[in-house]
Amino acid sequence: MANEQSIKAPTIAELSARLAALQSGYDALAAEVVELRARLDVPETSRSHLVPIKDAARRTGHSVDTLKRWCDQHEIGHKVGGRWKVDMLRYAAFRDGRIYRGIADE
């Protein structure tokens, strides 16, 4: 059929770029939530933003060792049941310069 349009599947690079843009948007919104909770003194009621450190390393592109160090130095995560969990809201705030504790590294 002459009028049919061919549908072009996105490339992996295009999908990766779209995913990165979405993640960036999510991180920005998550950081705003951290700021609002701090300003309003609202306690954390949900732990859905806590992710295992290996997942956080995959999402952020930082090594597990770097994230562990930042958890200790900048309080972006803590141990839950003996395993490290990264608070992605605090990570986003730290990454964007809204959380600073101790000597900045990397």
Residue positions counted in the chain = 106
Mean per-residue pLDDT, 68-75: 92
Residues 6+ apart with CB under 8 A from 49: 30, 87, 88, 89
At 12-65, the pLDDT tens digits run: 999 999 988 888 888 888 888 777 777 665 555 556 688 999 999 999 999 999
Instruction: Return d(Cα 78, Cα 54) in angstroms, integer.
Output: 13
The pTM of the full predicted model, rounded to 2 decimals, is 0.53
